Amino acid sequence: MARRKLVAGNWKMNGDRAALAELDGIAAAAAVHTDVDVAVAVPATLIAGAAERVPALAIGAQDVHPADRGAYTGCLSAPMLIEAGARFAIVGHSERRADQCESDILVAAKAEALHRAGLQAIVCVGETLEQRDAGEAERVVTAQVEGSLPEDVSADWCAIAYEPIWAIGTGRTPTIDDVAAMHRAIRAKLRDLLGERADGFRLLYGGSVSPDNAAALLDAEDVDGALVGGASLTAAKFVPIIAAASR
């Protein structure tokens, strides 16, 4: 099944108003490579500025609260993100699962909140190095997929990002065969859960994606895009990754 590639940047807790200038080059590349969906998840403080600066580019958030409103000090809801100009949000990133103790159930509720509000979701999964070394990677990741997707999930509004934790920000990546095997396992789990609807889901790879390795990773079977951290912070590094996804 032909799926449009999605290349999404995750700025994490990086960037300031001056950094929004990088989005000009990224938006220009997105306008050239019209066969690729391009998105950037900026810090929440920059969503409005980014969306105003590059209205054609999909700007998103890096988290959301599962409720629409209420007494949740410091949190942001999906309707708030929409009003700021977001079109999507990342949920279940391993840094939040670890630092904020986020569970699969919470991640699924966050994805559901995004859908309720009309936002797209990128749900992240991935194993630790210890789990991989113990031969547990596929079991751990497919269990995360099962637990982190809401019951009514659909490829129309949800993509899944496989991000091995040991590959994030380390410059290390799995072999292409290992990436393809994990994406195959995720697809098989989705088929178990959702039947034929599984085929529409875009499965992104994330973890030390760079201009040097993007083409090989994006060419791997069942890899429908990339979730890019460090290399999404500048147009100079992110644009070649967008180009690598285009054909």
DSSP 149: S
Residue tagged active-site, from 33, 65, 93, 183: 93
Is 225 a binding residue for ligand 13P by CB under 6 A? The answer is no
227 forms part of the interface with ligand 13P (CB under 6 A): yes
The single residue among 15, 92, 150, 207 that binds ligand 13P, judged by CB under 6 A, is: 207
C-alpha atoms less than 13 angstroms from C-alpha of 227 in its C-beta half-sphere: 34
Q: Which positions from 105 through 164 interact with ligand 13P, judged by CB under 6 A?
A: 163
Q: Which of 5, 6, 7, 10 binds ligand 13P (CB under 6 A)?
A: 10
CB of 170 to ligand 13P, least distance (A): 7
**What is the b/e burial string over 178-191, where b = at least 16 CB atoms within 10 angstroms of the residue's CB?**
ebbbbbebbbebbe
Pairing verdict, β 158-162 and 36-41: unpaired
Q: Are 217 and 195 in contact (CB under 8 A)?
A: no
The answer to whether residue 196 is catalytic is no
C-beta of residue 78 within 8 angstroms of C-beta of residue 88: no
Residue number with the smallest Cβ distance to ligand 13P: 229
Classified as helix, coil or strand, 162 is strand
Taking residues 228 to 247 in sequence order and writing x for each that binds ligand 13P by CB under 6 A, - otherwise, the string is: xxxx----------------
Using the rule CB under 6 A, is 209 a contact of ligand 13P? yes
Q: Active-site residues: which are they?
A: 93, 163
